[in-house]
């Protein structure tokens, strides 16, 4: 749902009814960043029909277009919600984290304690960096001889 809501930030989608619903939902996700006295729901409605905003065409720079909308000052709550959403870190590190999580978390482990998850990630990261399997490190006959410090 978060990615669907973020897709509504695309200036080409402005004015569509579904875009308005998604932008309102996006604002609900980031309420802690919004001004207490603002009415973001009303801002979303006005933003969708505002004819005074520059027309966005395919190939235009979306970041520049959004910056121009922010600078008008007419949509402070919506602008803050969009800035908060777009400031979420992204990139290869996040993608690899999702890959790592999919190997650890399944539908049955939704209530896993964070310390357990952290321990599992530490073990998996250590195994990956050593290019070894747990079986190779913890052979049955060597188990009593391995010191904890050697593993970490």
Q: Is the pLDDT of residue 107 over 70?
A: no
pLDDT in tens, 53-81: 888 887 888 888 888 888 999 998 888 88
CA distance 83 to 67: 10
How many CA atoms lie less than 13 Å away from 45 in the CB half-sphere? Answer: 3
Q: Domain segments of the chain: what residues? A: 2-86, 92-151
pLDDT beyond 80 at 151: no
The pLDDT assigned to 99 comes to 54
**Distances, alpha carbon 21 to alpha carbons 29, 34, 73, 111, in Å:** 13, 17, 22, 31
Instruction: Let me know: does 19 contact 13? Beta carbons within 8 Å.
Output: yes
Residue 120's Cβ-count burial label (10 Å; 0-12, 13-18, 19+) is middle
Q: How far apart are CA 6 and CA 19, in angstroms?
A: 10
pLDDT bracket for residue 110 (50, 70, 90): low
Its pTM stands at 0.53
Q: What is the CA radius of gyration of the chain?
A: 23
What is the percent of the chain where pLDDT is above 70?
70
**What is the distance between the alpha carbons of residues 85 and 8, in angstroms, rounded to a whole number?**
11
Residues 105 and 112: beta-carbon distance below 8 Å = yes
- Span 120-144, pLDDT tens digits: 777 777 778 888 777 776 665 554 5
**Contact, 81 vs 33, CB < 8 A?**
yes
């Amino acid at each position: 749902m978060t990615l669907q809501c973020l897709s509504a930030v695309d200036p080409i989608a402005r004015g569509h009814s579904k875009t308005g619903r998604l932008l309102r939902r996006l604002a609900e996700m980031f309420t802690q960043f919004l001004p207490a006295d603002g009415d973001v729901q009303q801002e979303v409605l006005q933003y969708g029909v505002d004819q005074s905003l520059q027309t966005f065409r395919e190939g235009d720079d979306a970041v520049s277009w959004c910056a121009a909308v922010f600078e008008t000052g007419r949509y402070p709550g919506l602008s803050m919600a969009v800035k908060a959403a777009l400031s979420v870190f992204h990139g290869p590190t996040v993608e690899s984290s999702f890959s790592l999580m999919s190997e650890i978390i399944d539908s049955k482990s939704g209530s896993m304690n964070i310390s357990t998850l952290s321990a599992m990630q530490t073990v998996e990261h250590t195994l990956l960096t050593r290019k070894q399997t747990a079986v190779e490190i913890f052979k049955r006959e060597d188990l009593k001889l391995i010191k904890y410090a050697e593993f970490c």
